[in-house]
Amino acid sequence: MSENTPGSANAYPKVGPIVINEIMYNPSWPVGGSYTNDQYEYIELYNISAEPVTLYNFDTALPWKFTDGIDFTFPEDVPVTMPGGGYLLLVKELEAFMWRYPAVPVEKILGPYSGSLNNAGERLELSMPGDVDEFGTRYYIRVDRVGYSDGFHPEDCPGGVDLWPSAPDSGWVSLSRISPQSYGNDPYNWTASTPSPGAINP
């Protein structure tokens, strides 16, 4: 939650400072492309704050990582810092992404990650390292989570209605967050749009 409210109704969910802002989970085969469709996948992260955020915790000497969905741990030898209002792209295949989106500056691109984004939907979770319990188990603190769907799985959704946009499953558009400052795990805060990794329209 955004603040503690003991004895009262819960406050609005805490959002940011880093959010999952765009998900290209089922890319189409581009004209002239020489990679498989899933190799053009990407996840865009966005720093909604005005201050730089380093994806590394110096008190634990550990980097941030994805704890659900893809398998990716941010660099620890040279920690990554996202400037205020800055973007970062996590990509499935570096060469495929750079070929398809040549306008995206290379310094905004990280990857590859292990695993593939599920075309039917799955949960993506970005986390920072937390405390260690008495048994030596390290816990991670969720920074942002999105449990997206392709719009065709009502059996997995509350009330039996899948409210997620279905157009991104076509391969030609991405799943884009409407308001980065608003709660991300809400289908009403996502729409289908032309891919714009790093806020650049290819």
Domains of the chain: which residue ranges?
18-199
Hey, is 132 helix, strand or coil?
strand
Q: What is the mean pLDDT of residues 183-198?
A: 96
DSSP secondary structure of 18-82? EEEEEEE-S----TT--S-GGGG-EEEEEE-SSS-EESEETTTTEE-EEEESSB-B--SSS--EE
Q: Which amino acid is present at 144? A: D
Residue in this structure with the two tokens 């730089």, named with its chain if needed: 52
**The model scores a pTM over 0.85:** yes
| Residue 9 · residue 47 · CB < 8 Å | no
Tell me the per-residue pLDDT of 17-27, one tens digit each, with 9 for 90 and over.
999 999 999 99
**Residue 143's closest CA among 42, 63, 41?**
63
Tell me which DSSP letter residue 4 carries.
-
Tell me the per-residue pLDDT of 2-59, one tens digit each, with 9 for 90 and over.
455 565 556 547 898 999 999 999 999 898 999 999 999 999 999 999 999 999 999 9
